[in-house]
Structure 1
Amino acid sequence: MENKKTTRLKNLLIPGKPLICPGAYDVLSAKIIEKIGFQALQVSGFGVAGSILGLPDIAVLSLTQMLDVTRNICHAVNIPVMADGDTGFGNAVNVYYTVQMFEDAGAAGINLEDQVFPKRCGHMDGKMVIETEEMIGKIRAAADARRDPDFIINARTDAGTLYGIDEAIRRGQAYLKAGADMIFIEAPKISKPEDIKRAVKEIGGKCSLGIVLGGKAPILTYEQYCDLGLARLSFPVAPIAAAAHGMEVALTHLFEEKSFADEDRDLYWDFKQYTDFIGLPDVHQLERRYMSDEALEERYKP
């Protein structure tokens, strides 16, 4: 198998067999996504905003904050990671440097969207989009900036929410022509999956869709998404929403019962499960390799 993560991601994007990309918000969530068996993931600006700031996805996160989280995730997992570049953190010139910074951080691709800054989660109300020509300039800058030609530029359009699927198609076609590798049809304002299928066909390239429970995109089976011709399915909110729910359930139990019992193990990992997962056995192995017997005995004496 090709070792470059960019090439691996590129080869995983197959129209009609959409790649499922959950949205990691920190290293732990990324490692769990990888452990379960997903072949790729994306960094979720929605999740990062919630996890480090306790705020909704309303463009409060800085480029540096997103880079730091993305770099840590890329170094911690072996599967390809797509970065969340939001609007590129500025104009086309900012996009140029943003792409290079995320590529240097280890990302295999980036999402770039055509919202007006300050942007917001695609499934929220109150969005605005920039003019098509301005976004074309951003995509051209992104394509010129990447050093690895397999680095994926996923151009997201939110125009479908505001103006309908025909405008999303028009913009998708223009963004592909400008150098994008895939078109992210975000939260389309449509009621029929057939409209998405038409959009994918008429855009004429690889397409992605973001799925949020309670959001604006249609909730279908995987087989139905395959029939639409999509190449990627993004689930940006599912991991952090699941984590929040799980913590609420477990901590409500602790609050009410004032303790945990053996029969409550379905609520949480025990200490060994968690420390094994985050690599404590590897630390012990390194200690045995590099520390003297005397030092180990002193450290682990009864």
Structure 2
Amino acid sequence: MALPSASSRTATLRAKLSAYHCSSSNSTTSSTTTTTTTPLKPLIAMSAHSALSAKIASQVTTTSVSSSSTTGSTPPTAAVPAFDAIWVSGFELSALHAVPDASIISPSTHLSTTRDIFHSQPLPLIADLDTGFGNAVNLAYALPRYEAAGTSAVVIEDKTFPKDSSLRPGGRQHLVPIPEFQAKIRAAKELSSMIVIARTEALIAAATAVDTTTTNPNQNQNRGQSEALARALAYEEAGADAVLVHSKSSTPKEIISFCSAYTGNVPLVIVPTSYPRWSFEDVSRLTDNKVGLVICGNHAVRAAVAGMRSAFRRIADDRGIAGVQDEIASVEDIFQLQGDDELRELEKKYLP
């Protein structure tokens, strides 16, 4: 099966994201009336750590009302991909190699995985570049290689190198100066045609810091929001196409507050790992369409780990494999994911 080109995938993702530019989607408020635009379902990116996990994600479908439906009749539906993009997750790839998410996996390993994922399925790729592998010069060398591998968008975060996982309790969450990170954004924009998503960790850095001079539990949060807002606007000024604001709060209140105060013109991106009970419909409704993309940041590897543990435990307890036959994928399913049908067609066409 012929897959879409990298440029086609990038154009599709860019066009979808453009609908969420805040300058055109914000509600308008006066002293007497408030007019709110129709909520837009945010784009959804599913995490992946391998070509196999990405292909599985790309094959999940949902139903969509056909644009050819006529008024007064039951609208026909069509199966469409459930996800708009694949998140090539650094956290997941680190987990795949059983090492911490702390800039330990080499750029070449992540790049090779990105290339494999591109060739395995048709969705656009959003590459998690962590801090950009060092300074702006390190990033400059990486960018053309990721674009050549088929990447449609890159996410770069404003923490120091080497990074520490945002969700790790007690992790090192130190931010680089704004001008230093703006230089990385400019490099990404000038040296590639990929979508550039600037990720700020200001909310997490503030939550991690301990201020012993105050007894007000909200002071760090307020300081974090002010810093995050300032950085978001500065990153947009540097050319970012979108801003990812990350939070490890167990509720979405911090994100809702940030979105309410955000006055930028580029769409926001969130990763709701720590506040999972927030539905995609809630995202658009409570953020006035400012959030254009939701990234399911680590669900592929977590689902895989849970499934393997369950199957392995059952085999060990049963002292045999019969009990898991109906709980695991069939061999035929694996053949399909491997592209066995395409192989057979090539054999018929080219082998004697």
Match in the other structure for 1:196: 258
The amino acid that maps onto 2:92 is: G
Q: Which amino acid aligns with 2:16?
A: L
Q: Which runs of 4+ in 1 moved over 6 A?
A: none
What is residue 47 of structure 1 aligned with on the other side?
92
Residue aligning to 1:297: none
1:11 to 15, 26, 32: 15
User: Which sits farther off after the overlay, 30-39 or 182-191?
Assistant: 182-191
**Which runs of 5 or more residues in structure 1 are unaligned?**
293-302
Hey, what does 1:300 align to over in structure 2?
A: none
Unmatched segments (≥5 aa) in structure 2:
21-39, 61-80, 207-223
In the alignment, does 2:200 pair up with 1:157? yes
**Which structure features the higher share of helix residues?**
1
Tell me by how many angstroms 1:115 deviates: 0.5
- Please say if 1:278 is aligned against 2:278: no
**Residue 93 in 1 paired to residue 137 in 2?**
yes
* Partner AA of 1:225 in structure 2: V
Tell me what 1:21 maps to: 45
Pick from 268, 274, 293: which aligns with 2:328?
268
Asked whether 1:74 is paired with 2:136, we answer no
Q: 1:286 to 1:191 in 2, by over 3 A?
A: closer
Q: Distance in 2 between matches of 1:218 and 1:175?
A: 27
The letter of the residue matching 2:181 is M
Give 3-state SS (helix, strand or coil) of 1:208's partner.
strand
Q: Does 2:173 correspond to 1:127?
A: yes
Name the SS for the 1:255 alignment partner.
helix
The 1-side partners of 2:165 and 2:326 are apart by: 32
2:152 aligns with: 108
1:39 Cα offset (Å)? 2.3
Alignment of 1:109-258 (within 5 A): 109-124=153-168, 125-146=171-192, 148=193, 151-163=194-206, 164-187=224-247, 192=253, 193-199=255-261, 201-212=262-273, 215=274, 217=275, 219-227=277-285, 228=287, 229=289, 230-258=291-319
Q: Secondary structure at the match of 1:259?
A: coil
- How far has the Cα of 1:120 moved from its partner? 2.0
Give the corresponding residue for 1:64: 108
1:217-244 deviation line (CA, Å, top 9, x unaligned): 5641111111213101111111100000
Q: Distance in 1 between matches of 2:334 and 2:276?
A: 36
Which residue of the partner structure matches residue 63 of structure 2? none
Cα deviation, residue 96, structure 1: 1.7
Which amino acid in structure 2 is aligned with residue 88 of structure 1? G
Secondary structure (helix, strand or coil) at the match of 2:131 reads coil
1:7-26: CA deviations, max 9, x gaps?
11112224343111111101
User: 2 CA distance for matches of 1:207 and 1:152?
Assistant: 13
1:83 positional shift: 0.9
Structure 2: which amino acid aligns with 1:35? Q
Question: Does the 8 Å contact 2:125/2:153 carry over to 1?
Answer: yes
Which residue in the other structure is 1:295 paired with? none
What letter corresponds to residue 298 of structure 2 in structure 1? V
Aligned length: 283
Question: What amino acid is the match of 2:98?
Answer: G
Corresponding position of 1:290: 350
Q: What TM-score, normalized to structure 2?
A: 0.76
1:32-78 deviations in Å (ceiling 9; x for gaps): 01011322111000000111x20121110111111111111112111
Cα–Cα, structure 1 residues 255 and 9, in superposed 2: closer, same or farther, change >3 Å? Answer: same
